[in-house]
Amino acid sequence: MAPSSSKAASPPPAARRGAGAPAAGVALVALAAATLPLVTRDSYYLDVATTILMNLTLTMSFRLQVSTGQINMAHISFMGIGAYASALLVTRVGLSFWATLWIGALVAAALAVPIGSVALRVSGPYYFLITFAFSEVVRLVFNNFLEGWFGGPSGLVGIPKPDRLLGLAFEGKLELYGLMAVLCVGVALAFVRLEYSRFGLTASAIRQADLLAETLGVDVFRYKLTTFVLGSFVAGLAGVFFAHFRQVLHSSDFGLEPMVLLVVFTVIGGTGSVWGPVVGTVLMTIAGELLRELHHYEILVFGAVLILTMLWAPEGLVALPATVRRLLRMRRSKDARAMGVGLAP
Amino acid sequence: MSIDLLVQALLNGFGLAMVYVLVALGLTLIFSILEIINFAHGEFYMLGGYVTYYVYALFGLNYFATLGLAIVTVGLAGVVAERLIFHDLRGKALNAFIVSLGLLWVMQAGAQLAFGVLDKPVPSAFSGIVRMLGLVISLERLVVTVCAIVLIVGLYLFLRLSRPGRAMRAVAQDADVAALQGVNIEAVSALGFGVGCALAGGAGGLLAPLFAVSPAMGALPVVKAFIIIIVGGMGSLPGAVLGGLLLGGVEGLGTLFMGSAAVNILGFLMVIVVLLVRPRGLVGGA
């Protein structure tokens, strides 16, 4: 489905120019993740850091889809599908976590093929609504159907932690944090490589003008479906980790509120760059922890920040320096008009 | 199963569906004028519920007067939201959608802070039952359904006959051409958003005595409204009515065979079927 790796290995000049920065960026994330345990081993901080890394894999895969102009309101559902699939395979079938980690993600990706094929038949507002409708179906199924399997309204409990691997026990916070860090850096590497490949350029062309891309010979539907399935695979991966990290699953973990949270993280950081979700997720998760005691205010502040970002800096925080520069330039030369402001012109 | 039972189930479904059609009509009106989906539409319904709680249940004003007040208040809130937030986002579906997600959170959290998180009961305005042709209907539901139908007809007449209503239809057809004919787009957008929200507010007022009032009460009707406008065709007012009747019928019949929570899934299945067979919706245009 994806373009062959030989194409990806020789990106066009425009992509090669910025090839040093992304590698440095991933190295920085990896370094930051590796130094945290040296600074603190407090279980609260490790918990927050693990959550940040898990959210990062979710927002980066969500942005991959936004980068082709899709706001997939069912993204969180594929996380749920991976989570429930793995939890059931471990508790009912007795498979090892290390197998279900990949099986769970593959189940999410496999379901994403038919679902994406239906949803991508429509675009724009219809797409937001159909994916939202699908996410509600998934939530209702987890909550009201097959209660013997999914646990019904009281949730699925008693999910074991990951079993031993290579003599390492994954009982403590530190080991789980390490596992999530490895997963997250791996995902980040893959996405950054993708972003600066032919694939990433095509995705960006689709976002900017999908009709033009289509006339230039890009199979827009296939690209969108590929990003949909790939994004769902990564969401499933995060979901499997979530299931065995929290050890309890509830249908509301995959409802509208966590989904809007993903949108908040991704959009505030900025969807134009692969680094947007990183900035947004880290900043907003920490802000959320600081506001934790005041839950209603947290939601209120996040909602207000989302509105203000979209109205005044729709390209997000990472694009802020460029936005400010453009505004200054505009002030200097009155007739220069801002071009291309917004997520999808 | 007797025919009476079937008719009774259908009637139950249609009754509530008419109120959800009100919510859907507001949503689709806003979509046709501004080309945006307001995900926070259910929060305006919630606002209508709270107006009813404070004015009718606590203050004791007449039920119908309260309903009018809810419609006007929520309509004004809609105009304010359009002026402050949405007026620059005409046609930018993606940005507007994300903004409306933010508005959803702001209004919900605001309601939790202002009104508290607990459900607030609103007493019934009418009690008793009506027997007609061998069917039993609760008087309250009958009044609610009739009120909803009156509001739907009122909206139809407003859009057909009044000058601002015709301006709205003109903008919905082609905003640029309407502007060239001297239609004030800014004013029409604000008014259209206000009318759309007012309908949601009216629906909230109508259903407040049936269900309790709470900050999260907007979620269910807005989901139903989404289903209705996808099935009927986005931007189409007759489509919304048709979609509502279909949803009401399917859900009414569904309750004969499955639990009320499981019935919710039928609407979504309907959406998926419609999108597969006719993505534009039943009455949707090009």
Q: Are A129 and A276 within one domain?
A: no
Residue A343 lies in a domain: no
Kindly report the nearest CA distance between residue A278 and chain B, in angstroms: 19
Q: Give me the number of domains chain A comprises.
A: 2
Q: Are A304 and A244 within one domain?
A: no
Q: Are A137 and A35 within one domain?
A: yes
Choose the closest CB to A130 out of B39, B262, B271: B271
Residue A259 lies in a domain: yes
Domain boundary residue among A208, A235, A253? A253
Q: Are A170 and A303 within one domain?
A: no
Mean pLDDT of A334-344: 48
Residue A313: per-residue pLDDT: 80
Domain around A154: 17-253
Residue A20: per-residue pLDDT: 57
Kindly report the nearest CA distance between residue A100 and chain B, in angstroms: 29
The identity of residue A24, as a single letter, is A
- Is it the case that residue A213 has pLDDT exceeding 80? no
Tens of pLDDT, residues B136-191: 778 888 888 899 999 999 999 999 899 888 988 888 888 888 888 888 888 999 99
| Residues in CB range of A281: below 8 A, 6 or more apart | A52, A55, A56, A59, A265, A266, A269
- Residues B47, B197: Cα–Cα separation, whole Å: 10
Residues of B contacting chain A (CB within 8 angstroms): 31, 35-37, 39, 85, 88, 92-95, 97-99, 101-106, 108-110, 112-113, 219, 223, 226-227, 229-230, 234, 259, 261-262, 264-265, 268-269, 271-272, 275-276, 279
Tens of pLDDT, residues A63-115: 888 877 788 888 999 999 999 999 888 888 888 888 888 999 999 999 999 88
Q: Are A96 and A190 within one domain?
A: yes
Among A230, A201, A193, A238, CA closest to A25? A193
Residue A64 lies in a domain: yes
Kindly report the nearest CA distance between residue B7 and chain A, in angstroms: 27
Instruction: Estimate the crossing angle of helix A256-269 against helix A276-290, to 10 degrees.
Output: 120
Structure tokens at A197: 């490949």
Residues of A contacting chain B (CB within 8 angstroms): 69, 71, 118-119, 121-122, 124-126, 128-130, 132-134, 136-137, 140-141, 143-145, 256, 260, 263-264, 267, 296-297, 299-300, 302-307, 310-311, 314, 342-344
DSSP run (H or E) holding A218 = none
Q: Are A249 and A259 within one domain?
A: no
Q: Are A43 and A181 within one domain?
A: yes
The residue written with tokens 């604000």 in the block is B190
DSSP letters, B232-247, are H-TT-HHHHHHHHHHH
Q: What mean pLDDT is reported for chain A? A: 79
Mean pLDDT of B20-34: 91
Residues of chain A found within 8 Å of residue B275, distances taken between Cβ atoms: 118-119, 121-122, 126, 130
Q: Are A303 and A201 within one domain?
A: no
**Phi–psi pair at B37, nearest 5 degrees:** -100, 120
DSSP B124: -
Q: Are A160 and A290 within one domain?
A: no
- Residues A236, A343: Cα–Cα separation, whole Å: 26
User: Of the given ranges (A13-27, B58-72, B206-220, B224-238), which has the lowest mean pLDDT?
Assistant: A13-27
Judged by CB atoms closer than 8 Å, whether chains meet at B262 and A145 is answered as yes
